[in-house]
Amino acid sequence: MPQPRLFLVYEPEKACLDRLVSQGYPTERAAEISSYLAQSTDLAPEFAEIWREAAKRGITFTPLELDQAAAAITSADPATSLVWTLTDGIAYFRGGSAPALARLANSRTLGADDSLFALCQDKFRSGAVLAALGLPVPQAGLARDGRWLVEPPACENGWFVKPNRLGAKIGIWPDSHSRDLGHALELSRRVFSHYRDDVVVQPYVAGRNVRASFLDVTGHADMSSLGVFLVDSGGDFQTMADSLALYGDTGADARATGAYVEPALVPLAATQPAADAEIRRIAAKLINGLGLRDVFSIDLRVDADDTVHLIEFEVCPGLPCFDFRAYCRAQWSMSLAEAMAETAARRLVG
């Protein structure tokens, strides 16, 4: 029988940039958009380490660029194959096709099914589903190039404006916390001009930023294995500039020059145990009601009175990012490569 094989499917940052430029995006904008795929750039130097850790556990690690995935997955033995999708996307990025390819080939996948890969990339639609599940997600309006498709609710604290399908919770610019709806529509025109995207306009919620990370290394982990951390970056919310400083070559340059310092991570339970417990309840509902499994992350805001606001979920968390590495160390006492290999081995060889 062939040796069990882990396929890690990723969309390269450079390939995405070149494709966007060919579609007419200015190079600067294409570089900003493709920077979200820098996790594949950051993880590539560790492929050899992941291969070694996988080999120790009796499996073969095979990283696959997205354009090679169809041929490789459909020709592999589904009985001994596991597909792990590193980069998702339904608009600018195409990684959401990988779990569908695996399903077509009858191969096992690690992570949520392909329907959630599409849902989580459309913030307006995913918010509607989360609200229907009774989860504490802010109600949202939707605008396109200066006109309302759905008007947002009134809010004394203003509104937060973010792209709908660009794949992040970020507000792009420092003025994305808008104090009036006229300005929110102006931001929608700016986003449409730069990125050809709609904007989600939500009531602004105060509080501290929290990231909850999950990787089911053992194959039967429960919510006690969820890592819930306050993320203190010194700012209220993440902008495009902050995002660029996290990953890839731009991030490496920012860290090398001291222009960027990684945010501090503090376990939420240390200061707000009630909010920590509520977030674990929310995560359990996402698993049972929505179908999250294996690996995911959740972004939230937490008030001083322990009120929790669910902002979004991700089925492809940034594995090589500082917060997920810290989670692997804190929860599983493993490096990222060890945790990935062990997770795959539990599915492939038991």
How confident is the model at residue 202, as a pLDDT? 94
The closest alpha carbon to 33, from 293, 282, 247, 350, belongs to 247
Residues 6+ apart with CB under 8 A from 286: 133, 135, 292, 296, 298, 313
How confident is the model at residue 52, as a pLDDT? 98
The C-alpha atoms of residue 51 and residue 46 are separated, in whole angstroms, by 9
Residue-range domain boundaries for the chain: 5-111, 139-203, 208-334
Side-chain-side CA neighbours of 66 within 13 Å: the count stands at 22
Two structure tokens written together for 109: 């996948």
How confident is the model at residue 236, as a pLDDT? 53
What are 164-201's pLDDT values in tens digits? 998 655 667 888 899 999 999 999 999 999 999 999 99
How confident is the model at residue 169, as a pLDDT? 54
Over the chain (350 residues), what is each successive 10-residue block's mean pLDDT? 91 94 95 90 96 98 96 95 93 92 95 93 95 96 98 94 79 84 96 95 92 97 97 61 55 52 88 98 97 97 96 94 95 98 94
Tell the CATH topology of 208-334: D-amino Acid Aminotransferase; Chain A, domain 1 (3.30.470)
What are 98-141's pLDDT values in tens digits? 999 999 999 999 999 999 999 999 999 999 999 999 999 999 99
How confident is the model at residue 233, as a pLDDT? 64
In a 10 Å sphere around its CB, with 0-12 CB exposed, 13-18 middle and 19+ buried, how is residue 34 labelled? buried
CB 73 within 8 A of CB 102: yes
